[in-house]
Chain A
Amino acid sequence: MGVKGATLFPPALEGTPGSSTYRLPSLPPATLGFSNCAVQLENTGGVCVNYFIFAGCFSFSGSRIDSDGKPAKFQPPPKPVIIDKQKQREERRFLSPEFIPPRGRTDPLKFYIERKDMIQRRKVFNIPEFYVGSVLAVTTADPYASEKSNRFVGICIQRGGKGLGATFVLRNVIEDQGVEICYELYSPRIQAIEVLKLEKRLDDNLMYLRDALPEYSTFDMNMKPVSRLDSEEIPVNKLQVRMKPKPWSKRWERPKYNIKGIKFELPEKKMKEAQKWSQPWLEFDMLREYDTSKIEEKIWKEVSEALQK
């Protein structure tokens, strides 16, 4: 939210505690055209517009003297009443990707039965919303650990699988050793999943972090969860990662991986050569299209109704 002008509240108070003088913060000439009673704040990037409505006006200068002749008691300025006009703002819908059935010849009844099981598990155990690029902490039951439980913190680099077999891979670097653990979302051995930092990245698959400098994959095991408001949109971290020198495990510069989150420091010649493997006809291939919008709508309705019960 961008505010035109300097801070509005609390206004700077000058003078002794007895006298009450208010000095309006220096606003640019354009805003002075607005009335004193309502100031419009513009949202820099979004749709919603909030209004601050002051319950009363305040004078510019001079000390206030009561009708009695004595100096008036300090009246604090009235608190602003925020009226959010967009009460019907669209709630952010998040349908976990493993609910969307893959394209195939399987009977839809199988997906329905599997979804019932998934919903049942979600009722008992909370699986939070997270994306590839968010940092999670997972506690699993481990029969061979001393406390019988095992906690691992890492960045989610991949979400795979559909239905009950959905998995996610967490990566971290512990004592200079890169560690990746693949967890099953619906496994009964998982005791808690906590999202420490909810954010998205430029790609859906962060496997290239294996060939990136280790600083990009290290996260503190005792990291504190980053607080965020429910109404905010998921932040997209536009970080461009620096890589270790080649050879890499995969040729990430090739267009088939379509990676936007790497700062390629390769010579121009190599980047042009990599474009030789591009397949520009793929985006026009109609048989590859799989429009999931209607399926998602139906499934979202079903899942949200079942979870609210």
Chain B
Amino acid sequence: MMPIWTKSGKKHAVTLLKVQDCHVLRYISKEESGGKTSKLLVGGKNASPFSKSESAMEIFKEAGVPRKQKVTTFNVTDDAIIKPGTPLYAAHFRPGQFVDVTAKTIGKGFQGVMKRWGFKGQPATHGQTKTHRRPGAISTNKAAKVYRGKKMPGKMGNIYRTSFGLKVWRINTKHDIIYVNGSVPGHTNCLVKVKDSKLPTYKDCNKNPPFPTFFADGDEKLPEDLYDEEIFQFTDPSVTYA
């Protein structure tokens, strides 16, 4: 995470996400998947092919890409279908866009009820016998049972969670890095899924996205760094208020 300043002098914290060897692996049509839209399988970050079985490696062989560590599905409309095997770059997103970022949270192991669910526990003194971090009562007398989903101690973390509506401040096309506002679930160097935001406020924010994606061998030549309009770029002199 890094600080970033706007032209008015305000500071925002930003997370850097690197797009590392992303390729489209397979196209699944609407009828095949049984959903409302067709799907595209996308894989990221190359990994060793020796620890997987032959059947699992078929997808990668068909697409002609090395084995990927993570494979995710994206629901796409029919006009956004991409041929399997095309590489995906950070320039697929543009500054000013809003994205949702999904990742597995940091695993905390088996945790008690105070850390996992934020229960208040019991006082430290005033005669409490061996009861300082326990849940207390778990149900009422009339119910005569414990409801399903009762908050109790258990394994915490290491589940998929999403941060919604994060603004993209800057894109580095040379190293394929996306600068995303705020924090993102997961530990450092973990694998992350970045999608266009589903929030209704940001439905029409993306004016001219590269559609269906940014092709590196195409005609468009982008500068090394793409900035949002409000970012203070370090080539400018210091901020002054008129």
User: Interface of A with B (CB < 8 Å)?
Assistant: 104-107, 109-110, 113-114, 117, 120-121, 124-125, 141-143, 148-149, 163-165, 184, 186-191
Say yes or no: B175 contacts A120, CB within 8 Å: no
Q: A120-B235, A124-B235, A184-B3 are in contact. List 12 more A-B contacts (CB 8 A).
A: A105-B188, A105-B189, A125-B238, A141-B238, A141-B239, A141-B240, A143-B241, A148-B240, A186-B3, A186-B234, A189-B239, A191-B240
Q: List the A residue with the shortest CB-CB distance to B242.
A: A148
**B235 contacts A148, C-beta separation under 8 Å:** no
- Using a CB–CB distance below 8 Å, which chain B residues touch chain A? 2-3, 5, 9, 11, 16, 18, 172, 175, 177, 188-189, 232, 234-242
A299 to chain B, nearest CB (A): 17
Q: Are B238 and A188 neighbours in the complex by a CB distance under 8 Å?
A: yes
> Which chain A residues lie closer than 8 Å to B11 at the CB level?
184, 187
- With contact pairs A113-B16, A188-B232 given, residues A163 and B9 touching in the complex (Cβ less than 8 Å): no
Nearest CB of A to B172, in Å:
7
Shortest beta-carbon distance from A146 to chain B in Å = 12
**Which B-chain residue is minimally distant from A120 (CB atoms)?**
B234
The listed residue (B5, B188, B242) touching A187 by CB distance below 8 A is B5
* SS class, residues of chain A in contact with chain B: mixed
Q: Which residues of chain A are near B2, meaning CB under 8 Å?
A: 110, 114, 163-165
Nearest residue in A to B172 (C-beta to C-beta)? Answer: A113
Quick check: B3 and A164 within 8 Å, CB to CB?
yes
13 A-B pairs with CB atoms under 8 Å apart are: A107-B189, A124-B235, A124-B237, A148-B241, A148-B242, A165-B3, A184-B11, A186-B234, A187-B11, A188-B232, A188-B238, A189-B238, A190-B238
Give the distance in Å from the alpha carbon of A105 to the alpha carbon of B9 in the complex. Answer: 31
**Separation of A86 and B16 alpha carbons in the complex (Å):** 48
Chain B nearest CB, measured from A290 CB (Å): 18
- Beta-carbon contact of A189 and B9 below 8 Å: yes
B186: min CB distance to chain A, Å:
13
Report which of A105, A106, A107, A117 forms a contact with B234, defined as CB distance below 8 A: A117
Residues of B within 8 A of A142 (CB): 241
Residues of B within 8 A of A124 (CB): 234-237
CB <8 Å contact, B234 and A141: no
Residue of A nearest to B239 (CB): A188
Is B18 within 8 A of A107, CB to CB?
A: yes
Q: How far is the CA of A158 from the CA of B94 in the complex (A)?
A: 39
Beta-carbon contact of B175 and A113 below 8 Å: yes
What's the Cα separation between A165 and B3 when bound, in Å?
A: 6
- Which single member of B3, B18, B236 contacts A109 (CB below 8 Å)? B18
The reply to whether B177 and A113 contact each other, CB–CB distance below 8 Å, is yes
CB contacts (< 8 Å) of A143 on chain B: these are: 241
* Residue contact B9 to A141, C-beta cutoff 8 Å: yes
User: In the docked arrangement, what's the CA distance between A170 and B9, Å?
Assistant: 20
| A161, closest chain B residue (CB) | B3
Contact of B237 among A105, A125, A164, A165 (CB under 8 A): A125
CA separation between A188 and B236, bound complex, in Å?
Answer: 9
CB atoms of A188 and B9 under 8 A apart: yes
Q: How far is the CB of A192 from chain B (nearest CB, A)?
A: 8
Separation of A105 and B190 alpha carbons in the complex (Å): 11
A residues in contact with B172, CB < 8 Å: 113
B residues less than 8 Å from A109 (CB atoms)? 18, 175
A191 neighbours in B (Cβ, 8 Å): 238, 240
Please, how many angstroms separate the alpha-carbon atoms of A281 and B55 in the complex?
55
CB-based nearest B residue for A189: B9
